[in-house]
């Protein structure tokens, strides 16, 4: 990788977008080599171990180099983009792909720098001299000829072999299928490799099965050989980003905090009626009102009645830290994996405020825009496994927290009500807690209080 030495070129390094994060994966570049950028403009999106974050550039200039391709994991503090801040005559040109030095031939070599723009790459800048907008057939022969052993008669083909033209989604497809783009014959305009080209590159493995030959004798014979996910029986997915962080956190929690889980099945018919009534209340107009809202409020009231459950274990100091605030975590399943953002100081929020906070938290998580700060400092968590039709579970504590409440599916079931068996809406709650902090009595009281409130939601008023 070429290092820029010109005074007018500034390098933007991968920042620590969370507390103590050491690396991040570049998900998407929003700029290309030669683009003009302004202070505060978002240039890329990266994924840390906690969330996807957009990175703004802190100065004006012209992009000279993109140091890493999409999908690359980069250490914090490593330069990822170089920007020419001089505002001189060199903004329009894109740097050459193969040339790393030799400023003299830069005037003619740089036109081929358009090649890596399509794949998000950029390499060393050569010179700030203007370049003519001519075709790429002159003066580049010296570099590719040395690299590929071809004569000067075919200089234009050499860069294509070295850095094939392909858009980021196509490049990712090739990587997933194990296809070397240098060996793919392009069919797109200007020699661009398409998705069909990549699929065609792996297709030869299928025709070799000789399906037409056994077909007359036994049609099922070729089917097993062809039927498969791209002819592969297994797919290996790199463990990184949110999935990697979740795995490490769960292992750490499961083998550090002694877990105890208690269960209770409760009639929530009155709570469901209250949910329907609140939906018609003008105070909740435009807000999300669902059972999770009242379950969250019930847990907050139960914590207020049993404050010792809201604590953490300080192993280094050998102390129990009682929290006088509740940062209520809500486990959310996203395409990138499980995340647990939390509502800060949830104990101080009114029911409409809590509803608004829950709605914002869920929508932000679904969009993949949850910030690392939103997932730090949680004290207790709710996980709603009922949305998947599951009755209950034994949830694992979020690291550093004392308890997590799992809410099962709410179903119409036969239930003894006022001495008679009637169909009632019933759910099962499960509370896991750290037995170093919470003993059986305290955990049972918290779970019983939550159940009592959901059975008789008027207790939200009498116990609040």
Could you list the active site residues?
435
158 and 145 in contact (C-beta within 8 Å)? yes
Q: Hunting for tokens 């390094």 — which residue is that?
A: 13
* Nearest-angstrom CA–CA distance, 458 and 450: 12
Q: Where are the beta strands (DSSP E) in 289-336?
A: 311-314, 319-322, 328-330, 332-334
Closest of 337, 406, 339, 348 to residue 378, by C-alpha:
339
Q: How far apart are CA 338 and CA 405, in angstroms?
A: 16
Q: Are β-strands 165-166 and 192-193 bridged in parallel, bridged antiparallel, or unpaired?
A: parallel
Q: Report the sign of the C-alpha dihedral through residues 440, 331, 292, 461, in that order.
A: positive
Cα separation values, 203 from 187, 230, 285, Å: 15, 9, 56
What are the structure tokens assigned to 390, written together? 């599951």
Task: Count the neighbouring beta carbons within 10 Å of the beta carbon of residue 70.
Answer: 19
Neighbours of 210 (CB within 10 A): 11
Burial class (CB in 10 A: 0-12, 13-18, 19+), 204: exposed
Distance CA 134, CA 111 (A): 7
- What are the tokens at 343? 């509502």
The edge-to-edge listing of strands for the beta sheet with 36-37 is 9-13, 79-84, 61-66, 36-37
Placement of tokens 């200007």 in the chain: 190
């Amino acid at each position: 990788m070429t290092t820029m030495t010109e005074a007018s070129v500034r390098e933007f390094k991968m920042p620590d977008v969370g507390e103590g994060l050491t690396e991040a994966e570049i998900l998407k570049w929003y700029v290309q080599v030669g683009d003009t950028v302004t202070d505060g403009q978002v240039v890329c999106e990266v994924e840390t171990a906690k969330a996807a974050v957009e990175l703004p550039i802190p100065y004006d200039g012209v992009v000279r180099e993109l140091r890493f391709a999409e999908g690359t994991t980069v250490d914090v503090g490593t330069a990822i983009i170089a920007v020419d801040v001089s505002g001189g005559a060199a903004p329009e040109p894109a740097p050459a792909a193969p040339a790393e030095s030799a400023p003299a031939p830069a005037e003619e070599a740089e036109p081929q720098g358009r090649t890596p723009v399509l794949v998000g790459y950029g390499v060393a800048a050569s010179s700030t001299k203007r370049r003519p907008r001519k075709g790429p057939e002159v003066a580049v022969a010296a570099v590719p000829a040395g690299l590929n052993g071809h004569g000067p008669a075919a200089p234009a083909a050499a860069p294509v072999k070295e850095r094939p033209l392909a858009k980021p989604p196509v490049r990712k497809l090739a990587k997933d299928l194990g296809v070397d783009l240098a060996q793919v014959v392009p069919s797109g305009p200007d020699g661009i490799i398409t998705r069909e080209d990549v699929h065609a590159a792996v297709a030869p493995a299928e025709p070799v099965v000789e399906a037409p030959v056994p077909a007359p004798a036994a049609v099922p014979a070729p089917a097993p050989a062809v039927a498969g996910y791209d002819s592969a029986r297994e797919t290996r997915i790199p463990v990184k980003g949110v999935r990697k962080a979740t795995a490490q956190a769960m292992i750490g929690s499961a083998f550090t905090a002694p877990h105890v889980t208690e269960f209770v099945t409760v009639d929530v018919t009155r709570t469901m009626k209250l949910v329907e009534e609140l939906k018609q209340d003008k105070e909740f107009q435009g807000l999300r009102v669902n059972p999770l809202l009242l379950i969250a409020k019930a847990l907050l009231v139960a914590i207020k009645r049993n404050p010792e459950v809201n604590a953490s274990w300080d192993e280094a100091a050998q102390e129990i830290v009682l929290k006088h605030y509740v940062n209520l975590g809500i486990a959310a399943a996203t395409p990138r994996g499980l995340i647990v953002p939390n509502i800060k100081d949830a104990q101080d929020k009114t029911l409409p405020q809590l509803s608004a906070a829950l709605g914002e938290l869920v929508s932000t998580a679904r969009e993949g825009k949850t910030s690392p700060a939103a997932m730090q400092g949680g004290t207790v968590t709710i996980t709603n496994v009922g949305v998947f039709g599951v009755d209950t579970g034994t949830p694992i504590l979020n690291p550093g927290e004392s308890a997590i409440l799992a809410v099962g599916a709410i179903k119409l079931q036969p239930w003894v009500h006022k001495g008679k068996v009637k169909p009632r809406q019933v759910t099962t709650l499960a509370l896991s807690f750290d037995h170093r902090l919470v003993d059986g009595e305290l955990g049972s009281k918290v779970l019983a209080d939550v159940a009592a409130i959901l059975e008789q939601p008027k207790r939200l008023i009498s116990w609040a």
